[in-house]
Amino acid sequence: MIISGIVFIFGLVIGSFLNVVIDRLPRGENIVWKPSHCDHCKKPLRWYELIPVISFLFLGGKCARCKKRLSYQYPLIELVSGISFVLLYSQAADSVGLISLIFLFCLFLVLFVIDLKEQILPDELLISLLFFCIIYVIRLPQADRIIHLMSGLGAGSGFLFLWLVTRGRGLGFGDVKLSVLLGALLGYPNIIIALYAAFLTGALVGVILIMSRKAKMRSRIAFGPFLILGTLIAFRWGGSLWEIWLRLLV
Ligand SMILES: [Zn+2]
């Protein structure tokens, strides 16, 4: 219980750092050597404005100086990280597994939010994911290694084809790169589950947005978040979903 509490607080602190990455990476700002500041008045934040979640609640979601509203992104990302860290801690088999899961979670969360906000998947993050994939695939048994490489190539060529056909209007090239990495990470049949879930949830959200008039038929919706959502579904429930699927088909 005490350990869960410590892991939760650690997650909050890392979440606070992820917020900085989400805000600064797309703008090319320095992530480490620059004090955090208010989005509106640009004044540097003081120590009591930097405590995850608590500062936001204590200050009523407003900047202490200019009193303008602060984004809900800050406490939300911190809480999601805190809760996820506790869940990952309870799932991981050993410390290497835990560090891998936490690293992957942070990458996915940052990619998800940046693509949602800015419609880009920054190369810095994709390259970090590439390194993770290389180490992961090298450590797999020989037979699995080939399956995972083929899954990456398969998913990538499918997305490259879609990118070429839609001339980059339906998908970004970042989605093509991400699909290769997710294929290599998930292998077969999990990549099929992930892509199916991504297209299904993407279409569903698209229809909801068009019906609620928040988007038009031609507006662009980032696809990265759906790919990541699909990947999480495949990670967690891929095996059982595949079994259900096969039973329905046979
Ligand atoms: Zn301010």
Domain regions of the chain by residue span: 1-120, 122-250
Tokens of 30: 């320095």
With a CB cutoff of 8 Å and minimum separation 6, the contacts of 234 are 186, 190, 191, 193, 194, 197, 241
Between 34 and 26, the more confident residue is: 26
| 33 CA distance to ligand 1 middle (Å) | 20
| 34 CA distance to ligand 1 middle (Å) | 17
Four-residue CA torsion sign, 44, 112, 140, 156: negative
Q: 137-160, pLDDT tens digit by residue? A: 999 999 999 999 999 999 999 999
Describe the crossing of helices 190-211 and 224-249 by its angle, rounded to 10 degrees. 120
Q: 96-139, pLDDT tens digit by residue? A: 989 999 999 999 999 999 999 999 999 999 999 999 999 999 99
Residue 215: predicted pLDDT: 66
Q: 176-228, pLDDT tens digit by residue? A: 999 999 999 999 999 999 999 999 999 999 888 888 877 666 667 789 999 99
The answer on pLDDT for 10 being more than 90 is yes
Q: 88-97, pLDDT tens digit by residue? A: 999 888 999 8
| 37 CA distance to ligand 1 middle (Å) | 8
Question: Residues in the chain, how many?
Answer: 250
| 70 CA distance to ligand 1 middle (Å) | 8
Between 82 and 245, the more confident residue is: 82
| 67 CA distance to ligand 1 middle (Å) | 6
| 50 CA distance to ligand 1 middle (Å) | 13
The answer on pLDDT for 168 being more than 80 is no
| 117 CA distance to ligand 1 middle (Å) | 21
Q: How far apart are CA 162 and CA 164, in angstroms?
A: 5
| 46 CA distance to ligand 1 middle (Å) | 11
Answering whether pTM is above 0.85, one says yes
Q: How far is CA 221 from CA 24, 29, 37, 116, 209, in A?
A: 22, 25, 30, 8, 10
The whole-chain average pLDDT of the chain stands at 91
| 38 CA distance to ligand 1 middle (Å) | 5
Coil, helix or strand for 43? coil
| 214 CA distance to ligand 1 middle (Å) | 29
With a CB cutoff of 8 Å and minimum separation 6, the contacts of 179 are 155, 156, 158, 159, 195, 227
Q: How far apart are CA 189 and CA 199, in angstroms?
A: 16
| 59 CA distance to ligand 1 middle (Å) | 12
Residue 242: predicted pLDDT: 86
| 65 CA distance to ligand 1 middle (Å) | 5
φ and ψ at residue 51, rounded to 5 degrees: -80, 125
| 16 CA distance to ligand 1 middle (Å) | 18
| 168 CA distance to ligand 1 middle (Å) | 39
